[in-house]
Chains A and B, each alone.
Chain A
C-alpha cells in the first residue's frame, strides 16, 4: 500500500474527527448534555450512530475471518443483526426505553434500570458489569483496528495503538455523546462506502455473483482432497462454505450457540446502544432511523461475511492455496484478502486506503461509544449512588462533568493496557463473550422493566444473579471456547456439551428465576424513585 496516500487520507480523517470533537465540546454545556446530548438527535444521526457503534471491527475483521472458516452459515448472523439488533431492538425495546427513560429522568442504561426498579443496588451492579466486562470488549475492538492498520500499512503496532487511543480519548472526553454520535455518523459513511466497494470488486474478481457462489460450492471437494484441515472440519460437521453444518454437530453448536445466538441476542442489552434510543426526540424519529439503519447494516455485515467466505475461492484461484485451512490467524484473513484484492488494480492504493479507513472507523466508532458508556458508568452512575449512600451535601451530590471526564480517561488507560496483554486472535470471541454475558444477566430484567408497570426489584435481583451465576459457572468451567481463551481446558473437554455457549443455559435460568420469584413471592411497592428506598 502507498503510505503517502494512506497518510493523506488519515490526516484529513483525523482533522474531521477532531473538528466534530470540538463541535461536541462547544455544545456540551453540562452533565446532561455530556450524557444524552440535546435529546433531539436527527433520525439519520441516530441510525448511523447506532449502526456504527453496533458494528465494530469485530463484526468486519473478526467475524469476516470466521466466515472464511465456517462459510456463509454466518449469513444467519446478518439476519439476526437486522431482526434482533434493529427490528426488535427499536420497536420492542427502543420506543419504550425512550418514553420511560424520559419519564423517569434516566440518562444511562444503568440509571434507567436503577430508576425503573427503584434500586440503587441494581444501578450499581449494572455499572460494575459495564466497568468490568466492557474494557475487554473495547480492547478487542481496539486490537481489531490496530491489527488491521499495522498489517495493511506496515506500521508499528504500538504506535497505531497509541494514536488511535489518543484520538478517541480526546474527542470522547471533551465532546461527550454529541461528539461521539456525530463522529459515528461520519465514520458510518466511510464504512458504508468502503464495504460497498469491496463487495463489488470481490464479485467482479470472481466472475460475477452466481459464478462466485458456484465456484465456492465446488471448491469444498477440492479442499477435502488437498487440505487436511478441511477433512477435520468435515468430521466435525462442516459441509462446505455454501452449506450449513450438520444439525447438532460440533461446528453447528459453535456457529449456532456462540456466533448466532450469543451475538444476535446479546445486541439487545448493549448499554451503549440503549443510550441512542434515549437521545431520540420521538418515536417517529426512531421509526425513521430504521430505514437508514437497516440499509447500512446489511451492506456492512452482509459484505463482511459474504466476502469472508468468498476469500477462500479467490485465494485458491489466485495462489492455489486456502489460508483459512492453513492455520492462519483468523483475524488476519480479511486484511490480507483486501490488500491482495486491490494489488495491481488501478487506484488500488486509494481503495486499500479507503478500506483501511473504513476499518479504522468501525473500530473507533464502537470504541468511542463503549468509552463514553464506561466513563459515565463510573463518573455518573457509581458516583451518584456513592454520593447518595455517603449522605453528601446537595452540592456534592450534583452530577459533575469533571467526574465523567476523569473516568473516561481512566477507562481508556485500562483498555490500552488490556489491548497490550490480550492475545491477537480473540476479537470475535471477546465480542460474543461480552454480549453473551450482558444478555445473560440483564436482558430479562431489562425487558421486565419495560413491560411491567411496577417492576419488582427483588425479582430482578434474583434473575440477574441466576443468569450471571449460570453464565460464569458454565463459561469458566465447562465451555471450551471460553476456557481455551483463558488458557485452560474445559472440565468436559471432548464432549459436545463443551461447545454450548453459556448464554443458552443462562438466559432461561434468568427468566425462570424471574417468573418463579414473581409467582412465589408477593409483590412489594416500588417505593420512592428519588431515594431508591422501598415504601
Chain B
C-alpha cells in the first residue's frame, strides 16, 4: 500500500516521518514542474532572442 494511516501517523511507502516523505514528494513535484514547464515553454518562440 502506498500510504498507510496507523492511527497515530501516516506512513508513506513505509516511511513514518512526514518530514522525510514530504522531501520525497517535493522532489518529485519539482521534477514534474520542470518537465511540464520545460515542455510548454520549450515549444514556444523565444521573444528575447537576439
Chain A interface (Cβ < 8 Å from any Cβ of B): 43, 71-73, 75-76, 78-79, 82-83, 86-87, 91, 95, 99, 102-103, 209-214, 217, 239-240, 242-244, 281-285, 287-291, 293-295, 298, 302
Given contacts A284-B46, A287-B41, contact A295 B35 (CB under 8 A): yes
Q: Residue of B at shortest CB range from A245?
A: B19
Q: Which A residues touch B11, using CB under 8 A?
A: 214
Cβ–Cβ contact A213 & B37, under 8 A? no
Whether A99 lies near B48 (C-beta < 8 A) is: yes
Cα A217 to Cα B9 in complex, Å, equals 14
Q: Assess the A82–B42 pair: CB atoms within 8 A.
A: no
Residue of A95, A287, A302 near B37 (CB, 8 A) is A287
Known: A86-B34, A210-B1, A291-B39. A282 touches B46 (CB 8 A): yes
Chain B residues with Cβ below 8 Å from A71 are: 20
Chain B nearest Cβ from A304, distance in angstroms: 13
Q: Is the CB of A291 within 8 A of B38?
A: yes
Interface of A, secondary structure class, is helix
Give the shortest distance, in Å, between A188 (CB) and chain B (any CB).
16
**Cβ–Cβ contact B31 & A295, under 8 A:** yes
Closest B residue by C-beta to A299: B31
Residues of A within 8 A of B46 (CB): 282-284
Smallest CB gap from A75: residue in B: B23
Smallest Cβ-Cβ distance to B41: which chain A residue: A287
Judge whether B42 and A291 touch: CB under 8 Å.
yes
| Residues A87 and B13 in contact, CB atoms below 8 Å apart | no
B44 touches A284 (CB 8 A): yes
* A173 CB to nearest chain B CB (Å): 31
CB-based closest 6 A-B pairs = A213-B14, A294-B34, A288-B42, A290-B38, A244-B19, A75-B23
CB pair B44 A302 closer than 8 Å: no
CA distance A294 to B38 in the complex (A): 10
Task: Tell whether, in the assembled complex, residue A213 and residue B34 are in contact, meaning their CB atoms are under 8 Å apart.
Answer: no
* Residue B8 lies at the interface, judged by CB distance under 8 Å to chain A: no
In the bound assembly, the distance between CA atoms of A73 and B21 in angstroms comes to 10
By beta carbon, the residue of chain B nearest A296 is B31
Residues of A within 8 A of B39 (CB): 291
Contact of B15 among A83, A213, A239, A288 (CB under 8 A): A213
Report how far A169 CA is from B11 CA in the complex, Å: 49
Residues from chain A with Cβ under 8 Å of B45 in the complex: 284
Within 8 A of A (CB), among B15-50: 15-17, 19-20, 23-24, 26-28, 30-31, 33-35, 37-39, 41-46, 48-50
Assembled-state Cα–Cα distance A302/B24 (Å): 9
B17 touches A87 (CB 8 A): no
Does B50 contact A82, Cβ atoms closer than 8 Å? no
Q: Is there contact, CB below 8 Å, between B31 and A82?
A: yes
- The 24 listed contacts between A and B (C-beta, < 8 Å) are A43-B42, A72-B20, A75-B20, A78-B23, A82-B30, A86-B34, A87-B33, A102-B50, A211-B14, A239-B17, A240-B17, A242-B15, A242-B17, A243-B17, A243-B19, A283-B41, A284-B41, A284-B43, A284-B45, A287-B42, A288-B42, A290-B34, A291-B35, A294-B34
B16→A217 contact, CB < 8 A: yes
Contacts of B43 in A (CB 8 A): 284
| Residues of A contacting B28 in the complex (Cβ-Cβ under 8 angstroms) | 298
Complex-state Cα separation, A95 to B46, whole angstroms: 11
Specify which of B20, B26, B28, B49 lies most central, judged by the most chain A CB atoms within 10 Å of its CB.
B20
Q: Are A217 and B31 in contact (CB under 8 A)?
A: no
Q: With contacts A210-B1, A282-B49, A298-B27 known, is A244 near B34, CB below 8 A? A: no
